[in-house]
């Protein structure tokens, strides 16, 4: 059985004008192309109440860093109420969205994800020795990298929303 350590947990929120479709694509592309993570949408729900929508979805992004370590980032998005609006942009009316979005990110460093050290009691002891004496510095490096990657994702998402809001007004 693999062991997961929570390395990072944070959230941001934004209330204003943004294009939901472009934001969704931006976040997905940043995770896959910039960070090399594999993204799977684990949940999606959409409730429509008159002209407004409530959208909630969750992603799990993973990357096998070595044959022993795996990065796992869980991201939860909540958008409510999302409404369609028109803004005047350069003399033209453009359809976009307005709403409040909250993004929660939790990052885990998964060790021995294939269970190679779980075959016997001796292997479990060797795993403890391996992690404590042989790769302890490597564990710290991967924790820093995963934490930085998660923080950078939230920073990029926040910047996108801030720029999008200023651009669309």
pLDDT per residue rounded down to tens, the chain (169 residues): 678 999 999 999 999 999 999 999 999 999 999 999 999 999 999 999 999 999 999 999 999 999 999 999 999 999 999 999 998 888 889 899 999 999 999 999 999 998 888 888 888 888 888 888 888 899 999 999 999 999 999 999 999 999 986 665 5
Q: Domain range holding 76?
A: 3-168
Cα dihedral sign, 133-151-23-100:
positive
The Cα–Cα gap between 66 and 63 comes to: 9
| pLDDT of 164 | 80
| pLDDT of 157 | 97
> Residues 97, 83: contact at Cβ < 8 Å?
yes
Distances in whole angstroms, Cα of residue 16 to Cα of each of 27, 34, 55, 161, 165? 18, 26, 16, 8, 6
| pLDDT of 133 | 85
Count of the separate structural domains present in the chain: 1
From 24, 53, 54, 26, select the one nearest 41 (Cα to Cα): 24
> Residues 117, 127: contact at Cβ < 8 Å?
yes
SS3 15: strand
Spatial CB neighbours of 79, under 8 Å, sequence gap ≥ 6: 20, 53, 54, 55, 56, 99, 100, 101, 102
């Amino acid at each position: 059985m693999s062991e997961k350590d929570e390395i990072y947990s944070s959230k941001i929120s934004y209330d204003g004008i943004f294009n939901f479709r472009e934001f969704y694509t931006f976040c997905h592309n940043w995770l896959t192309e910039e960070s090399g993570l594999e993204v799977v949408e684990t949940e999606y729900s959409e409730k429509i109440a008159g002209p407004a929508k409530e959208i909630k979805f969750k992603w799990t992004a993973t990357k096998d860093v070595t044959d022993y370590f795996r990065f796992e980032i869980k991201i939860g998005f909540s958008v409510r109420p999302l409404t369609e609006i028109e803004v005047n942009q350069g003399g033209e009316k453009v359809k976009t969205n307005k709403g409040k979005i909250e993004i929660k990110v939790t990052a885990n460093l998964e060790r021995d994800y294939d269970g190679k050290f779980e075959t016997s009691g001796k292997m479990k002891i060797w795993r403890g020795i391996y992690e404590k004496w042989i790769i302890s510095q490597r564990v710290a490096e991967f924790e820093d990298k995963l934490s930085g990657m998660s923080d950078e994702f939230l920073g990029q998402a926040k910047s996108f929303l801030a720029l999008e809001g200023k651009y669309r007004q």
